[in-house]
Amino acid sequence: MAESAAIDWDKAFAGRAEGMRASEIRELLKLLEQPDIISFAGGIPDPALFPSDVLRSAFATILSDPELGPKSLQYSVSEGYLPLRRWIAERMTSTGAPCEVENVIITAGSQQGLDFIGKLFLSPRDTALVTAPTYLGALQAFNAYEPRYDVLRLEDGKRTPDAYREAAAAAGGRVALSYVVTEFANPTGESLSLAARQRLLDLAAEIDIPVVEDAAYEALRFEGEALPSCLGLDIARTGSIERSRVIYCGTFSKTIAPGLRVGFVCAARNLVQKLVLAKQAADLHSATLNQIVMHQVVEAIYDRQIPKLVAAYGKRRDAMLAALARHMPEGVSWTRPQGGMFIFLTLPVGFDGAELLAQSLKQVRIAFVPGSAFFADGSGANSIRLNYSLQSEATIEEGIARLGRLIAGNLAAARAA
């Protein structure tokens, strides 16, 4: 028998495993389940707004159906349940991105779409263009493929395609993709202007890279008029989704229920076919039953569900904006989202969001996410993300009041020092 020395896992891992590290923030937030904490930390929908009765009834109906029942428990195709893909294609078409069922693949939330996109496009040292800040989960998905990040600047014309290309080449790779959350972004709550969307498509066409459009929050618009998605704009430019460079990642996690893990990607069929191979290799397919249920539920209630969410979350955003105006000291600024789940605060320079969180948990029992987690370059220390989708309006008022007092106290102490 050979020696039985224990394996050194860190030595056994491939180089890419190095980039897969525990987020300190996520670890910290795990500890926050004490009942007296008011949490603005998560980014999760209010379970009281899940269409629970409709879901329960769909599960019961499908599992009792002599044909659908056994089918829903069996292996199924990697591209996903055809009627759900068809529903999505029709919805995408009616909201300005004409496409066919072959342009849609079902994924385990939009997160899995991001993983597959990283897998398909990113070689080590390639550059991913992301906004600063951007969605932490996208960075985590991409990190496994060892990219370099560069900041996508869409609001001014200072950065040329060549500047991005040269910086990427100097880092030993190419510019491989661009990634944006178009509407009500996590973490800022802000949306890209029409001009910014057009500039992004220009830039992507000039560098010749895909645009990954994360539309997770798109349906949650409280006010203002919807702009065309990047996918819709690019289809208008190129004449067809088959010629578009936009990869649209959607999900039912924010509109129906995240626990079922049903999302999708909508893109040119050449790309979708490659995503199907990635899906087959990664987990064969998404849970068959969950896809059939999701189809029945969206078919039955999607158009009634969205106004309910918009009404509830809209009031909570209003409550948080009003509370911020009442309780935040001068020197603190914040975004005013027209939808989604988040408000992003910028604190006076010198503040550290992570330190403030530690202090806040201890002194006033308020949780939030320090902003630096959302910056690929580690900047953004003086920012924090607040979520308003999970708490009642009264709790939001109470929580922001406490947080405002804490920040004001810190500011006063800094001035006195």
Within residues 172-201, the interface with its own copies by CB under 8 A covers 176, 198, 201
Interactions with its own copies, residue window 99-128 (CB under 8 A): 107-109, 111-112, 115, 119-123, 126
* Of 31, 34, 47, 223, the one binding its own copies by CB under 8 A: 47
Query: What sign does the CA torsion over 314, 317, 322, 325 have?
Result: negative
Q: Is 34 in the site for its own copies (CB under 8 A)?
A: no
Interactions with its own copies, residue window 55-84 (CB under 8 A): 55-56, 59-60, 63-64, 69-77
- Identity (one letter) of the amino acid at 193? S
CB 144 within 8 A of CB 192: no
CB 179 within 8 A of CB 247: no
- Rounded Cα gap, residues 396 and 387, in angstroms: 10
- Identity (one letter) of the amino acid at 286? S
Q: Is 378 in the site for its own copies (CB under 8 A)?
A: no
* Of 2, 394, 413, 416, the one binding its own copies by CB under 8 A: 2
Q: Sort residue 55 into left (φ over 0), alpha (ψ -120 to 50) or beta.
A: alpha
Q: Where are the beta strands (DSSP E) in 67-107?
A: 104-107
Residue 349 CB, shortest distance to its own copies, in Å, is 32
* Of 86, 159, 237, 402, the one binding its own copies by CB under 8 A: 237
Nearer to its own copies, 289 or 361 (CB): 289
**DSSP per-residue letters across 110-165:** HHHHHHHHHHHHPPTT-EEEE-SS--HHHHHHHHTT--EEEE---SSS-S-HHHHH
Q: Is 32 in the site for its own copies (CB under 8 A)?
A: no
* Of 37, 167, 171, 282, the one binding its own copies by CB under 8 A: 282
- Rounded Cα gap, residues 120 and 48, in angstroms: 38
Among the candidate windows 88-96, 97-105, 216-224, 233-241, which touches its own copies by CB under 8 A? 233-241
Report angle CA 409, 414, 417 to the nearest 5 degrees.
125
Q: Is 392 in the site for its own copies (CB under 8 A)?
A: no
* Of 91, 148, 197, 261, the one binding its own copies by CB under 8 A: 261
Among the candidate windows 184-192, 250-258, 298-306, 393-401, which touches its own copies by CB under 8 A? 250-258
Interactions with its own copies, residue window 206-225 (CB under 8 A): 206, 208-210
- Rounded Cα gap, residues 284 and 277, in angstroms: 9
Q: Is 50 in the site for its own copies (CB under 8 A)?
A: yes
Among the candidate windows 46-54, 224-232, 315-323, 339-347, which touches its own copies by CB under 8 A? 46-54
